[in-house]
Amino acid sequence: MKEKLLQLAEKHGTPLFIIDHDKIRKNYRLFKRHLPKVQAYYAVKANSNQEIIKTLFNEGASFDVASYNEFMQVYEYVRHFEEKQKDFYIWDRIIFSNTIKDIPTLRKIKKYKPLITYDNRDELLKIREHCGTAGLVLRLKVPDTGSQVEMSSKFGIEIADAYNLIRESFELGMTVEGLSFHVGSQCTNFDNYSSALQITSQIFNDSRQKGYPLKIVDIGGGFPVPYDSTVPKFEKLASTINSECKRLFPKDVELIAEPGRFMVATTAILISEIIGKARRDGKIFYHINDGVYHTFSGVVYDHWIPNFHAFRQGTKEVCAVVGPTCDSFDKISVSEYLPENLKIGDYLYTHNIGAYSIASSTKFNGFDGAKILHLNN
């Protein structure tokens, strides 16, 4: 593998972000094999590259979007293939899962009769006024202890308030199609899912008994990526979800999910180049041509722990790897175990960098982001 990566770096230059679409397909098929009754709505925010959307669409995925631009990015692509079909239905392909939408966005998506989430009364009133054609999914606040990125402090209605908001939604002429939750990104505490499904089932079944015909349960994302051997197996989680859903919900429930990281995290490798080397306070600093304002943004926004590997052999010591910008904040890692004999012009590679990386890359200091190379076997 190293030899091929070196060849690609020499051919295309660096930084080089390599996306393996065969791995994307494998991840999607793994998800469907173990959760066959759950429709996967890929969370576009994880990596919005259009080629990824194409690959997942061809596999049968639907899409979870968070903004008007993401909505249209997916809609225009899906429409090209499906609008001529009589059974084309936007809800089958897109859910707008950002619980807070601005008024211009609601006005623009009104004509598409979208499926959208909400989690409070003010949002309900706003949707009713500006996007009354929407079908609603109420997002619940659920436990997210132990997840890499927590969600409950910003999203989700308190459980005690959920039923009253469902009732008011119907009274105002809106239709609540279902319920959703998110246990937090990179969830390794599987009890979160069990608790969330139990909470959701109580509200779902109670609402049905009182005459409100909910039909969708969106179990969100958070499915664990095997960044290392300590991460519990997805297959174990899937078994728990399958058994709990069978026990807790009626047979006609429509189960959907919003996997993002799970689909793309392991599908990309970044090759960066050492552009400077200095020993500062006794520690070697390797300056590379990528950083936290670019492909390594996940270090800041995603609590992601970077990894670096060298092509050159040598005696290793604890080093710092820092980005190219003038900002002292642009430190990717200060504790990488790398050979001390690396030279300017040598390459490093980083794996499992497919999620929350190029999606939030900037142009800070005028530096361009990494070049993107698609491998499609």
Kindly report the CATH number assigned to the domain that includes residue 347.
2.40.37.10
**Do 219 and 108 fall within a single domain?**
yes
HSE-CB of 289 using CA atoms within 13 angstroms: 22
DSSP 3-state of 259: coil
- Number of domains, the chain: 2
The span from the CA of 146 to the CA of 184, in Å, is 8
Q: Are residues 253 and 311 in the same domain?
A: no
State which residues form the domain around 26: 22-264
Q: Please tell me whether residue 177 adopts helix, strand or coil conformation.
A: strand
Residue 40: predicted pLDDT? 98
Residues 6+ apart with CB under 8 A from 115: 90, 91, 94, 95, 96, 134, 135, 137, 177
Same domain, 35 and 129: yes
CA atoms of 345 and 287, how far apart (whole Å): 11
Query: Is residue 277 domain-shared with residue 213, that is, in the same domain?
Result: no
Pick the last residue of a domain from 235, 264, 293: 264
- The Cα 206–Cα 307 span in angstroms is 47
pTM for the structure as a whole:
0.94
Indicate whether 69 and 156 sit together in one domain.
yes
Q: What are the Cα distances from residue 59, in Å, to 31, 35, 55, 235, 242?
A: 12, 15, 6, 20, 22
| Residues 237 and 363 reside in one and the same domain | no
Q: What is the tens place of the pLDDT at every residue in 142-151?
A: 877 766 666 6
Contact yes or no for 115/90 (Cβ under 8 A): yes
Of 229, 248, 264, which marks where a domain is finished?
264
* One domain for residues 231 and 274: no
303 shares its domain with 230: no
Q: 236 and 206 in one domain?
A: yes
Give the DSSP H/E element, type plus range, for residue 137: strand 135-139
User: How many Cβ atoms sit within 10 Å of the Cβ of residue 99?
Assistant: 20
Considering the domain architecture, whether residues 38 and 132 belong to the same structural domain is answered as: yes
CA distances from 136 to 90, 217, 252, 369 (A): 14, 12, 18, 37
Q: What is the residue whose two structure tokens read 């293939």? A: 81
Q: Are residues 244 and 293 in the same domain?
A: no
Q: What are phi and psi of 135, to 5 degrees?
A: -95, 140
Interval 240-257: pLDDT, tens: 999 999 999 999 999 999
At which of 264, 282, 304 does a domain end?
A: 264
143: CATH: 3.20.20.10
Q: Yes or no: say if 134 and 113 are a contact pair by the CB < 8 Å rule.
A: yes
At residue 149, the pLDDT reads 65
Residue 298: phi and psi, rounded to 5, are: -60, -25
At 10 the three-state DSSP class reads helix
Give the whole-angstrom CA distance, residue 194 versus residue 199: 9
Q: Which residue has the tokens 């710092």?
A: 320
Q: Which residues of 161-179 are buried (b: 16+ CB within 10 A; e: fewer)?
A: ebbebbeebeeeebebbbb
Chunk the chain into consecutive blocks of 10 residues (it has 377) and report each block's average pLDDT, rounded to whole numbers.
94 98 98 97 97 96 97 90 66 94 98 96 98 97 72 82 97 97 84 93 97 96 90 94 97 97 97 97 97 96 92 96 96 97 98 94 93 92
Look at residue 88 in the predicted model and tell me its pLDDT: 64
Q: Is there a single domain that holds both residue 218 and residue 243?
A: yes
